């Protein structure tokens, strides 16, 4: 069935380092890949997304890359800051069911 | 513009009881999706409603049901509660529910089943 695998489940970095979270998906028809950030006790919020017609997208310190052939996409955070500490969820669209399947999440801790 | 509102914020129930959760979407949003969040399992899709009709359903037992009203507000019901139903239940709204639309999440209802 439809599946999105996300790694690692936890990630600990020093402030200023880079962080990379990777996801793989199973549905070759998936064409939309968002990333949501959930800070402790708060609701998930969209931070960046990418569609299948591009390979990379950047927004300040965050970037997402997509490899459709290998069916995986990654979130890159550079110059991490303590406020980046949160759980990050990747997701992939499932066609033609018109829904998103989420990964299990990555808990990122940025230490000062 | 008010965000997605979920009530109640916390619920404590015992096994065998039933529970109803409520979600009010952003004004103008007609699609409401429900997710179950548990540690290590991420966001598990329950179902999605659009214009009072269930369009999509995840792999949950029939004890989990929902509905949507004409004002787009949605309710989720869980009958015959089990200990494993303890979780944070999140709803999310979007304009039309397209799989490539941004989802706006509520703060969730934390359900504890004792």
Once rounded to an integer, what is the mean pLDDT over residues A8-29? 96
Tell me if B99 and A32 make a contact (CB, 8 A cut-off).
yes
The answer to whether residue A1 scores a pLDDT higher than 80 is: no
Residue with tokens 């065998």: B16
The answer to whether residue B1 scores a pLDDT higher than 80 is: no
Predicted pLDDT at B101: 87
Beta strand B109-113 pairing with B10-13: parallel
Tell me if B97 and A98 make a contact (CB, 8 A cut-off).
yes
Chain A residues within 8 A of B108 when measuring between CB atoms: 43
Tell me if B102 and A93 make a contact (CB, 8 A cut-off).
no
Question: Does residue B75 contact residue B22 with C-beta atoms inside 8 Å?
Answer: yes
* % of chain A at pLDDT higher than 90: 82
Separation between Cα atoms, residue A105 and residue B42, nearest integer Å: 5
B103 close to A (CB below 8 A): yes
The answer to whether residue A41 scores a pLDDT higher than 80 is: yes
**What average pLDDT does the structure give for chain B?**
94
Report helix, strand or coil for A94: strand
Measured in residues, chain B has a length of: 114
Predicted pLDDT at A21: 98
Question: Does residue A66 contact residue A33 with C-beta atoms inside 8 Å?
Answer: yes
Q: Which of A43, A103, A104 sits opposite B106 (nearest CB)?
A: A43
Predicted pLDDT at A58: 96
Predicted pLDDT at B96: 86
- Quick one: DSSP state of residue A84? G
The CB density around residue B90, as the number of other CB atoms within 10 Å, is 25
- Confidence at A47, pLDDT banded by 50, 70, 90: very high
The answer to whether residue A97 scores a pLDDT higher than 70 is: no
Count chain A–chain B contacts defined by CB atoms under 8 A: 62
Q: Which residue of B has its CA nearest to A50?
A: B100
Predicted pLDDT at B99: 81
* % of chain B at pLDDT higher than 70: 99
Once rounded to an integer, what is the mean pLDDT over residues B35-56? 91
The answer to whether residue A91 scores a pLDDT higher than 80 is: yes
Once rounded to an integer, what is the mean pLDDT over residues B12-36? 97
């Amino acid at each position: 069935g439809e599946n999105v695998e996300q790694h690692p489940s936890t990630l600990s970095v020093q402030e200023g380092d880079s962080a990379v979270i990777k996801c793989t998906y199973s549905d070759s028809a998936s064409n939309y890949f968002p990333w949501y950030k959930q800070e402790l006790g708060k609701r998930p919020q969209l931070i960046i997304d990418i569609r299948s017609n591009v390979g990379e997208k950047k927004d300040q310190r965050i970037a997402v890359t997509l490899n459709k052939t290998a069916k995986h996409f990654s979130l890159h955070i550079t110059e991490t800051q303590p406020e980046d500490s949160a759980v990050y969820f990747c997701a992939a669209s499932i066609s033609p069911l018109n829904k998103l399947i989420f990964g299990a999440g990555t808990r990122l801790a940025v230490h000062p | 513009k008010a965000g997605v509102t979920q009530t109640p914020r916390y619920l404590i129930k015992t096994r065998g009881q039933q529970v109803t959760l409520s979600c009010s979407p952003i004004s103008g949003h007609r699609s409401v999706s429900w997710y179950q969040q548990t540690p290590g399992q991420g966001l598990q899709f329950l179902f999605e409603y659009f214009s009072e009709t269930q369009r999509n359903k995840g792999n949950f037992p029939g004890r989990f049901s929902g509905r949507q009203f004409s004002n787009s507000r949605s309710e989720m019901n869980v009958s015959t509660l089990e200990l494993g139903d303890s979780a944070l239940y999140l709803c999310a709204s979007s304009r039309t529910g397209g799989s490539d639309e941004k989802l706006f999440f509520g703060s969730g209802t934390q359900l504890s089943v004792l």
